[in-house]
Amino acid sequence: MVSMNVKTESLKEAYRAYLQSREIQHEPLNLYKPVNYIMNLGGKHIRAVFLLLAHSLYQSDFSDSAMTSAYAVEMFHNFSLVHDDIMDNADTRRGKPSVHKKYDINSGILSGDVMLILVFEELLKINDSAKRSKVLSLFTQTAKEVCEGQQYDIDFETRDKVSISDYLEMIKLKTAVLLACALKIGAILGGASDRDAQKLYDFGLNIGISFQLQDDLLDTYGEQARVGKIIGGDIQQRKKTILYLKAISNLNEHAEEFKVLYNSDLILEEKLPKVKAMMDKGRVKEEINEMKDSYLNKAIKSLSEIRDGNKESILELEKLANYIITRLQ
């Protein structure tokens, strides 16, 4: 397994120190207490680290604007989790009670709303007006796309037919665009050319898709102790993941049999091995692994086409990409 390098770890520690130094206002207490709770609930801070790494391609020291923007992107990510957990009726987040479970649904909705507003408050602190304009335009488009991805995800629950291309578009919008946005913001603030900034965006987009495909695989084929969540959760919830869609595509005359099994009320202990057996018959794991690696390779190719960036930081980005995709293999 690939490990993270010293520079990545130092940026992560710098971001954590910054996070701890930030104090969101306390009044009204019932509005801001849930915000402080979710922001300090842990997590890998991958988007913040990617933003700071992209910035380090062009600047030896990260600017105040870069750190503030990393914080803003992480806040938006956490805002989306607060509202997602309400929509999914999820009881936990990162091993702790989700915001609406610890407080209540009204607090989750309103605290999530104010987090989104705080994101723009943070981005408006960018000193350079031209860079601020570019970042705000990019972020606004990204925020809209994340909402579109979430809606597609909800729609898929009741749609009879979802294609593999539909699913890939959904995870691009719901997951990948925010990672891509973080990288491009870092590049913009670092002074990258428009071409390099776009290459970093493309890198993030493909890493985000590869990451979600890996996450789908781990939900069915991972080890619970290593993954940190119940294996087969997607199957139990009858989610139309990429594995489900690929199985339907590959099983031919057995596709209907698979659908009946997947959507049955069998308990997970009985259902999971039967679903996996049919997926294995359709070579689902192998093909999704190939698809995941294809997106990872596209991402690395975009990195190789960057013209002006610091070579050490480019290598660091490549290692971090490999780490998050292969971390549990």
- pLDDT at residue 328, rounded to an integer: 52
Residue 226 in domain:
yes
- pLDDT at residue 228, rounded to an integer: 58
> What would the pLDDT profile of 168-220 be if each residue is shown by its tens digit?
999 999 999 999 999 999 999 999 999 999 999 999 999 999 999 999 999 99
If you average pLDDT over residues 19-42, what whole number do you get? 90
Cα 248 to Cα 91: distance, rounded to the nearest angstrom: 31
Residue 202 in domain:
yes
If you average pLDDT over residues 241-252, what whole number do you get? 96
> What would the pLDDT profile of 52-64 be if each residue is shown by its tens digit?
999 999 998 888 9
Give the burial class of 263: count Cβ atoms within 10 A of its Cβ; 0-12 exposed, 13-18 middle, 19 or more buried.
Answer: exposed
When divided into structural domains, the chain yields a total of 1
Torsion of CA 27, 29, 30, 36, to 10 degrees: 100
- pLDDT at residue 227, rounded to an integer: 56
- The CATH number of the domain holding residue 160 is 1.10.600.10
Residue 1 in domain:
no
Task: Assess contact for 206 and 177: CB atoms under 8 A.
Answer: no
Q: Which residue has the higher pLDDT, 36 or 26?
A: 36
Cα 212 to Cα 176: distance, rounded to the nearest angstrom: 8
- pLDDT at residue 24, rounded to an integer: 83
Angle in degrees, CA 219, 182, 151, rounded to 5: 55
The model carries a pTM of 0.93
> Range of 40's domain?
6-326
Nearest to 4 by CA among 38, 50, 35: 50
Query: Is the pLDDT reported for residue 229 higher than 60?
Result: yes
> What would the pLDDT profile of 130-175 be if each residue is shown by its tens digit?
999 999 999 999 999 999 999 999 999 999 899 999 999 999 999 9
Residue 302 in domain:
yes
